[in-house]
A and B are shown apart, each in its own frame.
Chain A
Amino acid sequence: MTGTTYGAAFAVRWMGTVAAAVAREADRLTELDSAIGDADHGANLRRGFAAVSETLAKEPPATPGAVLVTSGRVLISTVGGASGPLYGTLLRRAGKSLGETGEVTRAGLADALAAGVAAVGQLGGAVPGDKTMLDALTPAVEALRESFAAGRAAAEAGALATVPLRARKGRASYLGERSVGHQDPGATSSALLFAALEEVAAE
C-alpha cells in the first residue's frame, strides 16, 4: 500500500510502542550493556521513553514532525550518557526533516530517518562497522523504503551482525578484542524502534 500516509497520531502511537518495548526489554539491554559497557542502557532508555510518552500524552503535537522533535528533546533532557544525545538527535533531526507536513508516506519517513541517522553519525563520529547503533539503523532505514517488515528485519539482522565486530566507539571500545562476541546494546535498542514501527503500521 504505497499510497498510505501517516499522521501525528501514528507517530505518538509509535513512540508509545517504543516506550513499552524498551520497558519490556530493559533488563536484556542492561544485561548486554554489562558485558561490554556499564550496565545502564536499559534503565536510562526506559526512563527517557517513559518521559516521552508522558510528554506526548499531556500535549500531543499536531504533526508527525513535531512529535519526533518533541520526543528527541525529551530524550536529550532525561536520558544522559551517550544514548541521550544520540537517540535525541536521531528523532529531532528526523522530525525537523519532516517539517510542517501533516501526513507522511513510508518513503517520506525513510528519508527523514535517513537524515536523523546521518546526524547521529556526525555527532558520534562513528561509521557502520564500529559496533554501534548505526549498524542497526543504517540498513534499517534503507530497507524501510521496501516495507515496514523489511525495516524491522534489517534492523534485527544489523544488531545481530554486531556480535563478531570489535567496538571502536563508546565505552565498549576500551575492551578492544574483548568486545568481540557480544551484541551491541545500542544496536539492539535501535532495532526496537523498527519493530515498534512495523507493529504500529500493522494496526
Chain B
Amino acid sequence: MRMLINVPETVVADGLRGIAAAHPELTVDVERRVVVRRDAPVAGKVALVSGGGSGHEPLHAGFVGPGMLDGACPGEVFTSPVPDQMVRAAAAVDSGAGVLFVVKNYTGDVLNFEMAAELAEDEGIQVARVLVDDDVAVTDSLYTAGRRGTGATLFVEKLAGAAAEEGAPLERVEALARRVVARSRSFGVALSACSTPAKGSPTFDLPPGELELGVGIHGEPGRERRGMMTAGEIAEVAVDAVLDDLRPSDPVLLLVNGMGGTPLLELYGFNAEVRKVLDARRVPVARTLVGNYVTSLDMAGCSVTVCAADEELLRLWDAPVATPALRWGR
C-alpha cells in the first residue's frame, strides 16, 4: 500500500501541522492535539467540542469554526482521544456559558469523554454531553455496544453549532442536539477495506467483487456481504435500511457521504440513485450535501444519512458556517 506519509508514527501530528499551515483562523496545538477557533472563547456563547479517532477527516477538526464546532480533539488513527485533550479544549473555548461534548457512540469515545466531563466539571466548567448513534446497521440491544455514530455527527455539529452561534443557552443547545440525533439515521456500504498507516495493509478482508453492506467507519463489519451491485441497487438497500428505521414525516436533510476512496463523480451518480429511491418512497428532500465528510481513511464506499428536518432545523442548516470543510452563507 502506497501512502503519502513520512512515517506512520507521525501521521496525526503531520496532518495537524498541515491544518495549521492552511488555516490561520484556527489555533492548532500540534503537541497536545487540540484545535480551536482562533477567536475562542466567544463571549457569552455556548461552546461545542467534539473529537474522536483520526482517519475520518474532515471530521472533526475540519468542522471547527463560526457556526459549528469551537474545538476538536483528534486521537490516534481510529483511537479515541484522551481526557486531557478534551479538558484542555473545553477550558480553551468555555466562555462561562458551558460546553457541549458531541460524542460518537463507540466504547472508547464514550469512556474518555465521560472521564473528561468529570475532570472539566472539577475545573468549574459546565459540561453537557450528547451521544450520536445513527447507524441502523447495528442492532441496538443489550448484546452490542449500541448503534455507532457516523454521518449524523455532521448534522449534530452543524445544527447545534448554529443554535449556539445564535446565542441559545446550554440546555437548549443540548436538547436540540438530542433532537437531531433522534431524527437522524445512517447506513454505510464498503466497496474495499481501509488500510491504517500503522498496519500498512487492509484491516479486513474484502475480496474483489464483493461489498460489505452496513459497514462502520472503521471498517467494522455490517449486516452482510454480497457480490458487487450497481449504484442503483446499493441506493435501494441503503435508503430502505434507513427508512425501515425512521419514516420521516418532514422533508429531510440528506448527506450522501464518501468513505474516502470513492471519486466524487461516482458519489454524485450515487446521489441521483438515492434521490430516485427517496422520490419513489415519497420522502421529500429539502437539502442535499454530497462529498467526503465522515471518512474511513482510503476505504471505497459511501453512506447515506437522513435527518427529518422541521422548520427550525432547516433554518439552522441554512445559517452561516465558516469552517475548513463546510462554508456558506456569509
Residues of A within 8 A of B (CB): 30, 34, 38-40, 43-44, 76-86, 123-124, 166, 168-171, 173-176, 178
Contacts and interface: CB of A to CB of B under 8 A. Distances in A.
What is the predominant secondary structure among interface residues of chain B facing chain A? loop
Contacts of A174: 138, 144-145, 148, 216, 220-222
Nearest to B55: A38
B76 A76 contact: no
Contacts of B204: 34
Interface stretch (B14-22, B105-113, B161-169, B229-237): B105-113
7 contacts: A39-B199, A40-B196, A84-B108, A84-B112, A85-B108, A170-B107, A173-B145
Interface of B: 53, 75-84, 106-108, 111-112, 114-115, 138, 142-145, 148, 196, 198-199, 203-204, 216, 218-222
A166 to B, nearest CB: 8
B115 A175 contact: no
A178 B107 CA distance: 19
What is the predominant secondary structure among interface residues of chain A facing chain B? helix
Given A44-B76, A80-B76, A173-B143, A38 B83 contact: no
Contact of A168 (B78, B143, B218): B143
B82 A40 contact: no
A76 B85 CA distance: 11
Contact of A82 (B77, B107, B221): B107
A24 B222 CA distance: 32
B79 A171 contact: no
A76 B82 contact: yes
A186 to B, nearest CB: 11
B186 to A, nearest CB: 14
A173 B196 CA distance: 21
Nearest to B203: A39
Nearest to A81: B108
B83 A76 contact: yes
A-B pairs, top 10 by smallest CB distance, nearest first, are A81-B108, A85-B111, A82-B108, A173-B144, A82-B107, A80-B79, A81-B79, A38-B218, A174-B220, A80-B75
A79 B76 CA distance: 9
B203 A85 contact: no
A76 B112 CA distance: 8
A78 B144 CA distance: 26
Contacts, number: 99
A86 B111 contact: yes
Contacts of B53: 80-81
Nearest to B78: A38
Given A81-B108, A124-B107, A76 B115 contact: yes
A11 to B, nearest CB: 23
Given A85-B114, A166-B143, 14 more contacts: A30-B199, A40-B78, A44-B79, A77-B83, A80-B108, A81-B80, A81-B108, A82-B80, A85-B112, A124-B107, A171-B107, A173-B145, A174-B216, A175-B220
A79 B78 CA distance: 12
Contacts of A171: 106-107, 145, 218, 220
Contacts of B82: 76-80, 84
B106 A40 contact: no
A134 B252 CA distance: 43
B220 A40 contact: no
B145 A40 contact: no
Contacts of A86: 111
